[in-house]
């Protein structure tokens, strides 16, 4: 089991508001074997003005591409796009480490409208 990280330095509430975390539904998922670390390419529907966005997520320990469509996840939607190998990742899909440090996706406990902002 990996030890939890120490808390980060305190920030102001206005700093928190700058990070735009939204809920979306995974509509497509495909293996990404070209990535340095095993990953899955995702297409996530955030609805409304955000629409479809792509993400590369290192989630292969607990998830397969076939299991992911229809699942709601949280993602940071206002980071600049990041090149991951030959794939442009447009959002940062969020997860938490399990006891072995493997990523577990963060999802709402109940279905919510796509595009909803975390507060």
Predicted confidence (pLDDT) at residue 5 exceeds the cutoff of 60: yes
Domains and CATH numbers, the chain: 13-105 (2.40.50.140)
The pLDDT, as a whole number, for residue 33 is 87
CA distance 44 to 27: 6
pLDDT digits (tens, 9 = 90+) for 97-110: 999 999 999 999 99
Among 91, 110, 95, CA closest to 63: 95
In angstroms, how far is the first alpha carbon of the chain from the final one?
30
Predicted confidence (pLDDT) at residue 2 exceeds the cutoff of 60: no
Tell me the mean pLDDT in the region 38-43.
96
CA distance 108 to 111: 7
Mention every residue, 6+ apart, whose C-beta is less than 8 A from residue 85: 32, 34, 35, 36, 56
The pLDDT, as a whole number, for residue 36 is 86
The pLDDT, as a whole number, for residue 35 is 85
82-84 and 87-89 beta bridge pairing: antiparallel
The pLDDT, as a whole number, for residue 75 is 98
pLDDT digits (tens, 9 = 90+) for 50-97: 999 999 999 999 999 999 999 999 999 999 999 988 899 999 999 999
Mean pLDDT of the chain: 94
**E strand or H helix at 28, and its extent?**
strand 21-31
């Amino acid at each position: 089991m990996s030890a939890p990280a120490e808390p980060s330095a305190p920030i102001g509430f206005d700093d928190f508001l700058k990070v735009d975390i939204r809920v979306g539904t995974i509509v497509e998922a495909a293996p990404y074997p070209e990535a340095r670390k095993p990953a899955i390419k995702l297409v996530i529907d955030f609805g409304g003005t955000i629409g479809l966005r792509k993400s590369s997520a290192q989630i292969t320990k607990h998830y397969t591409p076939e299991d992911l469509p229809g699942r709601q996840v949280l993602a940071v939607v206002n980071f600049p796009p990041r090149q991951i190998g030959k794939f442009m990742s447009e959002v940062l899909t969020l997860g938490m480490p399990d006891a072995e440090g493997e990523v577990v996706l963060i999802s709402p406990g109940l279905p919510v409208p796509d595009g909803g902002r975390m507060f």
